[in-house]
A and B are shown apart, each in its own frame.
Chain A
Amino acid sequence: MDPAFRELLADFLSEGFERTDAVEHHLLAMPSEDIEGRREGVIAIKRQLHTLKGNAGMMGLGDLQQLAHTLEDRVEVLDAEDRDGLATGIDSLLQGVDQMRAHLRSLTREETAEETDRDSDLPAPPDERAEENAKDPGSNALSQTPGADARSKAAQRSPAERGQDAPSPNAIPTSGLDQEGDDGVQALGFRASDGRIRIPYAKIDELVELQAEALVLRTRLAEAINAGTDVATALRISTLRQARRTAGGGDGSSSADGEPERWENVSDAWQALEKSLDRMQDRIIDLGMVPLEGLFRPLGRIVHDESRREGKRVELKVRGGETPIDKALLEVAGEALGHLVRNAIIHGIETPDVRTARGKPPIGAVDLKAAVVSGEVRIEVADDGGGVDLEAIERQMVDHHPDATARAMTPGDDPFAVVFEAGITSRGDADMSAGRGVGLSAVKASVERVGGRVELRSVAGKGTSFQLALPLTTTILRSLLLRADQETYALPLSAVTESLHLDTSALHTVNQTGVLRWRGRVVPLLDLGLAFETTDTMREEGFAIVIETGGRARALVVDDIAGIRDIVVKSLDPIVGHPVGISGSTILGDGRVIMILDPVTLATIPSATGPAS
Chain B
Amino acid sequence: MSDAKQTPPSGSDSERDADHPERIYAFADAIEAERERSTDSEAGPAPRPETWVSFEIDREIYALPVEPVKEVLRVTEITRVPHAPNPVRGVTQLRGRVIPVVDLALRLGLPERQQDQGNRILVVGSKGRLIGLLVDRVHQVMQLDRNRVQAPPDDVMTSRSDFVTAVYHLADRLILMLDVDRVLVIREAQDVA
Contacts and interface: CB of A to CB of B under 8 A. Distances in A.
Interface of A: 119-123, 125-126, 487, 531-534, 570, 572-577, 579-582, 585-587, 591-595
Given A126-B188, A572-B100, A585-B98, A593 B79 contact: yes
Nearest to A579: B83
A120 B192 CA distance: 27
B129 to A, nearest CB: 6
A534 B79 CA distance: 13
Contacts of A123: 185-186
A572 B85 contact: no
Interface stretch (B67-75, B87-95, B144-152, B157-165): B87-95
Nearest to A487: B80
A580 B96 CA distance: 24
B81 A595 contact: yes
B45 interface: no
6 contacts: A121-B128, A572-B100, A575-B184, A586-B98, A587-B96, A595-B81
A574 B98 contact: no
Contacts of B82: 531-534, 579-582, 595
Interface of B: 77, 79-85, 88, 91-93, 96-100, 102, 127-131, 184-186, 188, 190, 192
A65 B190 CA distance: 49
Given A585-B98, A593-B98, A572 B188 contact: no
A4 to B, nearest CB: 23
In order of increasing CB-CB distance, the 4 nearest A-B pairs are A532-B82, A579-B83, A570-B98, A593-B79
A570 B97 contact: yes
Given A576-B91, A579-B82, A593-B93, A122 B129 contact: yes
Given A122-B129, A487-B80, A575 B98 contact: no
Contacts of A592: 77, 79
Contacts of B130: 573
Contacts of A582: 81-83
The majority secondary structure among interface residues of chain A is loop
Contacts of A119: 127
A575 B88 contact: yes
Contacts of B131: 573, 575
Interface centre among B81, B127, B185 (most CB of A within 10 A): B81
A570 B85 CA distance: 19
Nearest to B107: A575
Nearest to A577: B85
A585 B79 CA distance: 10
Nearest to A574: B186
Interface centre among A576, A586, A591 (most CB of B within 10 A): A576
B91 A585 contact: yes
Contacts of A487: 79-80
A572 B92 CA distance: 11
Contacts of B188: 126
A424 to B, nearest CB: 31
Nearest to B80: A487
Contacts of B80: 487
Nearest to B76: A591
Contacts of A577: 83-85, 88, 186, 190, 192
Contacts of B128: 121-122
Given A587-B96, A594-B79, A572 B129 contact: no
A572 B83 contact: no
A595 B84 CA distance: 12
B155 to A, nearest CB: 29
B174 to A, nearest CB: 28
A581 B82 CA distance: 8
Contact of B88 (A126, A576, A587): A576
A233 to B, nearest CB: 29
Contact of A575 (B77, B93, B127, B186): B186
B79 A595 contact: yes
B83 A532 contact: yes
